[in-house]
Amino acid sequence: MHKHAAFFCLLLGSFPPKSTALSNLMDSLDVKSMLTSLVSELRFPEVSSLTKRSRKLDTMSNGSTVLWVIQDSYEGQTFFDTFDFYTGVDPTNFLDQQSAFNQSLAYVNSDNKVIMQGDNTTWLPSGVNRSSVRISSQAEYNTGLFVLDLDMAPWGCGVWPAFWQAFYWYRFCLICSSFNRTLGNGVWPWNGEIDIIEGVHDNEHNQVTWHTAPGCNLTATSNFTGTIVQTNGVDNLQCNAFIDSNAGCGVTEWSRASYGPYFDSQGGGVFAMKWDADGIAVWSFYRAAIPQDIVQGEPNPSNWGQPVASLSPLACNITQSFANHSIVFVDVLITVDITFCGDWAGNSYATSGCPGTCPDRLMDPSNFVNASWIINSLKVYKQATLSGGDSNDAPSSMGPSLRMIGLLLCVATALHVMNMAF
């Protein structure tokens, strides 16, 4: 209809006012009916959509407004297509993709939920490593909004799951101990590591941690609800991976629903990390408290309240310290993984309240029935700046809206010509 209207407007413009030919043409084409029909279509859907979207805008510290638009979506039957399986040397026996599929340690069930788990059926001789999964995304990221929706995260004595991001020279991550982390693709830790979900044993509180090269520090006065991790009663403010046995700078969440059995009993939830010029912030929501904008696929961190953890750019050059990150899952390592014992879980086992020793614990498969990831989706969003800055990713809806406005002006001109013609 719009194309026909545009042609019609051009046609009207070729006639002089009060032309007999114009009058005859309009009579034969029933122009008044055509214009009435056209006007009824001019509802400006794009403008309405943008107005509706404006309620979903995120406000940055510099006053600019941005819209978070989907960049990558990892879910369902294609989830593993864009992840690599890590098989390097580790206290855990990480399987390659085909072996993990064959042993049902990695698969997608009939409800399109992604399952990654440690071996919970095989009795092992003493000293033998238990099988598990660790995967890293093939895609690399430099900033973004990462939203992970899961029904279950691994936990249990001797279990060290992680979701993290980092940068390594090799595609696969070399550290395997968090629920979701991001890892840089270079010589660790020069491009940083972000542990978004991490814990050990039967912990109830998630820990968010950053590991970097020297020079990046956590700002204690930043706006977050968690508690800064300490060593010997002193806050770990230096994220420097070369000191304090690579403790990094970490924040422990206050909520018991952020990790372990209580998180799973609540039906899981959502973890979200925003990484941009304002810093790196992490939120977590148990199932009943997930914001509606996340559910609708229109995330707006400005509506989420204080993050549980935040790394401010005041004492850390975010762009310099974090770059080219892959996502890692460990049980699985974008990285996701599940590690058994290892540095953190192994060294802390004696004071964890868990029975026996960590190596002995590994022998009995029944100890690892809860060492599983059940993932609904992992979505990565990128910024589209709408005001206060330029962006090539800005929505293109204004273009169609301007065309509609032009069309409306054409209709008004046509009505004016009609009045002159009669």
Residue found under tokens 């510099």: 62
14's tokens: 């070729």
Cα gap 375→163, rounded to integer Å? 12
Nearest to 277 by CA among 57, 54, 62, 58: 62
Residue 216, CB half-sphere, CA atoms under 13 Å: how many? 31
403's tokens: 């065309």
Q: Looking at 46, 198, 253, 298, which residue is catalytic?
A: 198
104's tokens: 């049902």
Predicted local distance difference test score (pLDDT) of residue 344: 52
Instruction: Name the CA radius of gyration of the chain, rounded.
Output: 28
242's tokens: 């070369």
91 within 8 A of 346, measured Cβ to Cβ: yes
408 within 8 A of 400, measured Cβ to Cβ: no
Predicted local distance difference test score (pLDDT) of residue 396: 40
114-117 and 159-160 beta bridge pairing = unpaired
Q: Looking at 46, 140, 193, 298, which residue is catalytic?
A: 193
Q: Is residue 46 flagged as an active site residue?
A: no
406 within 8 A of 11, measured Cβ to Cβ: no
Per-residue pLDDT of the chain (422 residues; tens, 9 = 90+): 444 444 545 455 554 555 555 555 555 555 555 555 544 444 433 333 444 444 478 888 888 899 999 999 999 999 999 999 999 887 788 999 999 999 999 999 999 999 999 999 999 998 888 898 889 999 999 999 999 999 999 888 877 677 766 643 322 222 233 334 455 556 788 889 999 998 776 778 899 999 999 999 999 999 999 999 998 899 999 999 999 888 899 999 998 888 889 999 999 999 999 999 899 999 999 999 999 999 999 999 999 999 999 999 999 999 999 988 888 875 432 345 566 665 555 466 766 778 788 788 888 898 888 989 999 999 999 999 887 654 444 444 334 444 444 555 555 555 555 555 44
Q: Is residue 41 flagged as an active site residue?
A: no
Question: DSSP letter at 343?
Answer: I
Cα gap 152→355, rounded to integer Å? 24
Predicted local distance difference test score (pLDDT) of residue 269: 96
171's tokens: 């595609």
Predicted local distance difference test score (pLDDT) of residue 207: 92
Q: What is the chain's percent helix, strand, coil content, to nearest 5?
A: 30, 30, 40
Outline where DSSP puts E strands in 212-292.
227-228, 230-231, 234-235, 249-252, 269-276, 279-286
Cα gap 35→53, rounded to integer Å? 30
What does the longest C-alpha to C-alpha distance in the chain come to? Answer: 102
Cα gap 181→273, rounded to integer Å? 10
CA dist 109 to 113, 195, 371, 375, Å?
6, 27, 17, 11
Phi-psi region of 245 (alpha: psi -120 to 50; beta: other; left: phi over 0): left
